[in-house]
């Protein structure tokens, strides 16, 4: 009986596809409901906009949706996608699931508009065969063909990819709040161009630490959560601390938080860390505040600081 039930369950799973929202559509993939991509064969499409559903490319923590894809369809089941790493177009299988849902380049999409001039794709966040109903599934990617950009818009893909006025106004407001409330977690805003720390002394070595892993993390991780390793020679004693600081619009460093396991010593530990910032880092480093769209602002960074005798 258990084996029979298990068999029925497996058949049911194989016969269904992922669901969108609260619906559970069956896999109705067929030639009649698929989209004809062969009519676009050989046309190069450049992504010119990537925005959330609200029309912004930035969110409240400073993450930026950046247009960077290039597509070229070859057949109804084949598409080439530009790889910045390989600096060339790479072929992918174009899988039609059902309705306007497609998978290629390890991503799910809903095709919202398709013509020889432009394409709009809705990126879908899929987990356990279900579309996640959150911001990750409300990202829209707009593509224009080379000919449309050149002959109709008389522009370039680089120009079209620049953030618009709506993004600028939004970023200005977030920067204002971040600068007015630098230590308030509600107003933290990551700098798209992170803080720069450069040594002014042979006694100090600074290394930008990157934990980016293309298999587990987005490339945006490094600017959302900047980390630095700092080694200080001829320190007053040996020490090894990990803590987070705010670098404000003037370059001043203020301790934000740190691991603490004893409330009784927390205040003293704060004074020690702030002292290291004031005595060593402020004097021995050239500090350039982070900025977004060219506007400097307060932002959070993580420091791993070692002192050597």
Domain identity same for 55 and 193? no
- Residue 53 CA to residue 120 CA, distance in Å, equals 13
Read off the CATH number of the domain in which 53 is found: 2.40.160
- What pLDDT sits at residue 83? 83
Please give the average per-residue pLDDT across 221-244, as a whole number: 95
| 153 lies in the same domain as 230 | no
Task: Let me know whether 223 and 96 are in one domain.
Answer: no
Alpha helix positions (H), 23-75: none
**Looking at the DSSP assignment, which residues form a beta bridge with residue 227?**
209, 302
> Is 116 among the domain residues?
yes
114, 156: one domain:
yes
- What was the pLDDT predicted at 1? 40
| Pair 80, 220 in one domain | no
Question: Per-residue pLDDT tens for 147-175?
Answer: 999 999 999 999 999 999 999 999 999 99
Q: How far is CA 226 from CA 129, 187, 198, 239, 241, in A?
A: 33, 17, 14, 22, 16
φ and ψ at residue 101, rounded to 5 degrees = -95, 125
Task: Calculate what percentage of the chain has a pLDDT beyond 90.
Answer: 67
Say if 67 falls within a structural domain: yes
Q: What are 61-113's pLDDT values in tens digits?
A: 999 999 999 999 998 889 999 887 788 899 999 988 777 889 899 888 999 99
131 belongs to a structural domain: yes
Instruction: Identify the bridge partners of residue 114 per DSSP, sorted by sequence position.
Output: 119
Residues 106 and 200 in one domain: no
Same domain, 45 and 125: yes
How many domains does the chain contain in total?
A: 2
Domain boundary among 127, 162, 197: 162
Q: Which residues pair with 75 in a beta bridge?
A: 78
Q: Model confidence at 124, in pLDDT bands (50, 70, 90)?
A: confident
Same domain, 204 and 136: no
Instruction: Quote the pLDDT of residue 165.
Output: 95
79 domain-assigned: yes
Whether 169 maps to a domain, the answer reads no
Contact 306, 239 (CB under 8 A): yes
- Domain of 192 in residue numbering reads as 184-307
Residue 178 lies in a domain: no
Q: Mark whether 123 and 248 lie in a shared domain.
A: no
Are 200 and 267 within one domain? yes
Q: What are phi and psi of 170, to 5 degrees?
A: -65, -45
Distance CA 218, CA 68 (A): 14
Strand partners, 44: 72
Q: pLDDT tens across 3-24, in order?
A: 344 433 343 333 334 444 434 3
| pLDDT tens by residue, 63-73 | 999 999 999 99
For residue 261, give Cα distances in angstroms to 241, 254, 266: 14, 21, 8
Output the six-digit token pair for 295: 């506007």
């Amino acid at each position: 009986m258990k084996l029979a039930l298990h068999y029925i369950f497996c058949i049911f799973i194989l016969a269904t596809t992922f669901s969108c929202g609260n619906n559970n559509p069956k896999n109705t993939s067929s030639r009649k409901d698929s989209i004809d991509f062969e009519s676009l064969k050989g046309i190069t499409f450049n992504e010119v906009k990537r925005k959330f559903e609200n029309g912004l490319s930035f969110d409240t923590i400073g993450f930026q949706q950046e247009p960077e894809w290039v597509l070229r369809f070859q057949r109804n089941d084949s598409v080439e996608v530009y790889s910045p790493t390989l600096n060339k177009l790479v072929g992918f299988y174009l899988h039609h699931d059902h309705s306007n849902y497609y998978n290629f380049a390890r991503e799910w999409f809903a095709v919202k508009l398709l013509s020889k001039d432009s394409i709009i794709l809705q990126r879908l966040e899929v987990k356990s065969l279900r579309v996640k109903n959150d911001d990750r599934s409300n990202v829209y990617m707009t593509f224009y063909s080379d000919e449309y950009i050149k002959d109709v818009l008389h522009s370039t893909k680089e120009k079209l990819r620049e953030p618009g006025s709506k993004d600028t106004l939004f970023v200005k407001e977030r920067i204002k709040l971040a600068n007015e409330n630098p230590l308030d977690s509600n107003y933290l805003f990551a700098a798209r161009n992170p803080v720069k720390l450069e040594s002014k002394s042979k006694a100090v070595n600074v290394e930008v630490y990157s934990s980016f892993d293309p298999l587990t993390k987005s490339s945006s991780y490094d600017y959302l959560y900047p980390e630095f390793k700092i080694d200080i020679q001829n320190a007053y004693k040996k020490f090894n601390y990990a803590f987070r600081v705010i670098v404000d619009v003037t370059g001043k460093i203020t301790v934000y938080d740190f691991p603490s396991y004893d409330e009784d010593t927390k205040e003293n530990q704060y004074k020690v860390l702030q002292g290291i910032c004031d005595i060593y880092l402020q004097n021995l480093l050239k500090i350039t505040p982070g900025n977004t769209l060219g506007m400097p602002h307060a932002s959070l960074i993580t420091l791993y600081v070692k002192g050597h005798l």
